Structure 1
Amino acid sequence: MTDFATLTLDGKTYNLPVIVGSEGEKAIDIRSLRQETGHITFDPGFANTGSCQSAITFMDGEKGILRYRGYPIEQLAEKSTFVETAYLLINGNLPDRSALTRKSVMLNDFSLLHEDMKAFYQNFPSKAHPMGILSAMLNALRSFYPELIDLEEDLNQTFLRLISKVRTMAAMAYKISRGHATVYPRSDYSYCANFLHMMFDNPVIPYQMKDDLVQALNVFWILHADHEQNCSTAAVRVVGSGKVNLYAALSAGISALWGPLHGGANQAVIQMLESMHREGFTPAQVIEKAKDKDDPFRLMGFGHRVYKTYDPRAKIMKKMCDKVLAILNIKDPLLDIAMGLEEAALNDTYFQDKNLYPNVDFYSGIVLRAMGIPTNMFTVMFAIGRLPGWIAQWREDALDPNQRISRPRQVYTGETIRDYIPIGDRK
């Protein structure tokens, strides 16, 4: 039996159906609201608006829960690989050994880029941001691989091609930006190992692969693979709802991720630490600045829009951060400042009362810096990890018979009707 929420407007009563999700989440179905009442809802930022029904990712911000297709993020980070997690998100279930092997082989087969694409990279300005390049190049990729028909096998090949090539594209952008020769992937390396190889190997100093860093990259990408209806995922769904090609929808997701309030937050953490180091601020002084309502300073890497307790991804990334720093034994003043800032914040009652814990961006920025990833590549790293989630969300939206083109309403606050005045009569 369907439950209803009762709405009374102008003396009339309306019954709005209540939808209940598999985890007990409840939503009031307002699809007929405007037609029946003439009213719309007003919800800036869509913080209280459900735009879709999804079976991909479950989050509970109050309890600190994150699950992909029902699997706790803690178990996936400990036991899975990024490739296996990507398969899970896109296909709905974990692969068996033969399926995973087959997909891994295909990822290697698809990893090369058409040589003509190098010309695009070499014509970007030298100071072009890697995220802008990646967004443009992902759109350009469709020119080389335009086929995308409705057969499931062809869709899966397109998904694999994208996941494979975006890693190569990111590494190529880095190499070209430094004036270095591009490095080709190796068939004997895993997905994550190949990325590190393409980023850091060179003829003069061959890159020494470390299994612990490969694991750290696996964990980083697993933690970022999907996160429900966030800004960039919503952008992919909104753009995709217009039935544009997949490449264009994903390019929109990359552009949305670029901002400092979303995917650029881990880069903003490092920039904040650089500013602290440059200006000589101690962690205690920064904590006091953050608590001062009259100070425009904003503390990056703490708190979260959804999580009202410790971000479950942050707990996992903290362990990986401690492990990576211990292995590499790096002497870096920014990392020392970061650890001091973490300790000061965790022991401050104001931060405890406000649930302002270090989030995943705080620790991931530290890990990426320690691994040698340039700061302007941080958001690109996020984008590579988020690609399977975007693809899964796009696919789910495209296959949903109830989905319509996204078209939000507004509350108009401009001028009411007025007559046109000829230019000679205007004062």
Structure 2
Amino acid sequence: WGARESDANLPPIILLREMIQNSQTPEQYFERFIKKGEPIVSNGLGHSAYGPEDPRATVSRKIFHEYRKNHPDALKSPLIRKALEVEEFTLGHPFFKEKKLYPNLDFYSALVFHLLGIPSEMNNVIRVIGKLSGWLAHWLEQRNETERRSFRPRQVYTGKMHRGYTPMDQRK
């Protein structure tokens, strides 16, 4: 759940905005990871399951670049310009090649959503729309099984039960 499943394309936007806000080049931003050994966590680079040859990243990269080429105004966006710098830097730097950390699906889909004018806060909603048919298909398959199985949640809520509702304007 969360960034693992659906908000994964928000960290690349945060990374790019941070670089823009701090007037950093990719070299400056990534120096702490390259020279100081800090781990790179969930920022649109690499994928634990697919590795460097993520076929989804290949498709999303193509969509991003085709859209950008067909819409020259895209380069007016500081976010897109910074993303192109990051892409060039990570694809060419030995550190990223060795670690197999290439821009992934989340990196490119965040950029495509940005180019389409979708607010980054809505990225999760857009991604869920795409996954919903698969979730419903799994649910239907489970409902149609002749031998019913129990599906047990992996997490159990341990918080306070039966709490009262406080309207937003009355909360502290």
Common fold, TM-score beyond 0.5?
A: yes
1:282 equivalenced with 2:25 (yes/no): yes
CA offsets 1:83-126 (integer angstroms, 9 cap, x no match): xxxxxxxxxxxxxxxxxxxxxxxxxxxxxxxxxxxxxxxxxxxx
The 8 Å contact of residues 266 and 364 in structure 1, kept in 2 or not, is answered as: yes
The whole-number CA distance in structure 2 between the counterparts of 1:299 and 1:391 is 28
The residue that corresponds to 1:348 in the other structure is 93
For residue 399 of structure 1, report the CA deviation from its aligned partner: 2.2
Report which of the two has the higher share of strand.
1
Query: SS at the partner of 2:3?
Result: coil
1:394 equivalenced with 2:128 (yes/no): no
Higher RCO structure, 1 or 2 (CA under 8 Å, sep 6+): 2
Shift in alpha-carbon separation, 1:294–1:350, aligned structure 2, 3 A = closer
1:359 to 101, 104, 108: 104
Shift in alpha-carbon separation, 1:390–1:284, aligned structure 2, 3 A = same
**Which stretches in structure 1 are left out of the alignment for 5+ residues?**
1-255, 410-427
1:378 equivalenced with 2:123 (yes/no): yes
1:300 equivalenced with 2:49 (yes/no): no
For residue 293 of structure 1, report the CA deviation from its aligned partner: 5.7
CA offsets 1:26-60 (integer angstroms, 9 cap, x no match): xxxxxxxxxxxxxxxxxxxxxxxxxxxxxxxxxxx
The residue that corresponds to 1:170 in the other structure is none
The share of aligned pairs that are identical, in percent, is: 37
Please report the TM-score for the alignment, with normalisation by the length of structure 2.
Answer: 0.79
The 8 Å contact of residues 44 and 103 in structure 2, kept in 1 or not, is answered as: yes
Q: Number of aligned pairs? A: 153
The whole-number CA distance in structure 1 between the counterparts of 2:134 and 2:37 is 39
**Which stretches in structure 2 are left out of the alignment for 5+ residues?**
155-172
Query: SS at the partner of 1:302?
Result: coil
Give matches, 1:95-134, under 5 Å: none
Query: SS at the partner of 1:304?
Result: coil
The whole-number CA distance in structure 2 between the counterparts of 1:296 and 1:340 is 21
Query: SS at the partner of 1:301?
Result: coil
The whole-number CA distance in structure 1 between the counterparts of 2:148 and 2:99 is 38
CA offsets 1:306-331 (integer angstroms, 9 cap, x no match): 11232101101111101111222221
Give, as a single letter, the amino acid of the residue that structure 1 aligns with 2:79.
Answer: L
Query: SS at the partner of 1:260?
Result: helix
The residue that corresponds to 2:57 in the other structure is 314
Give, as a single letter, the amino acid of the residue that structure 2 aligns with 1:328.
Answer: H
The whole-number CA distance in structure 1 between the counterparts of 2:18 and 2:56 is 26
Shift in alpha-carbon separation, 1:399–1:305, aligned structure 2, 3 A = farther
Please report the TM-score for the alignment, with normalisation by the length of structure 1.
Answer: 0.34
Report which of the two has the higher share of helix.
2
Shift in alpha-carbon separation, 1:342–1:299, aligned structure 2, 3 A = farther
The 8 Å contact of residues 8 and 42 in structure 2, kept in 1 or not, is answered as: no
Query: SS at the partner of 1:372?
Result: coil
The whole-number CA distance in structure 2 between the counterparts of 1:288 and 1:399 is 54
The whole-number CA distance in structure 2 between the counterparts of 1:382 and 1:360 is 12
CA offsets 1:126-163 (integer angstroms, 9 cap, x no match): xxxxxxxxxxxxxxxxxxxxxxxxxxxxxxxxxxxxxx
CA RMSD of aligned residues (A): 2.3
The 8 Å contact of residues 287 and 345 in structure 1, kept in 2 or not, is answered as: no
Which structure's CA Rg is the greater one?
Answer: 1
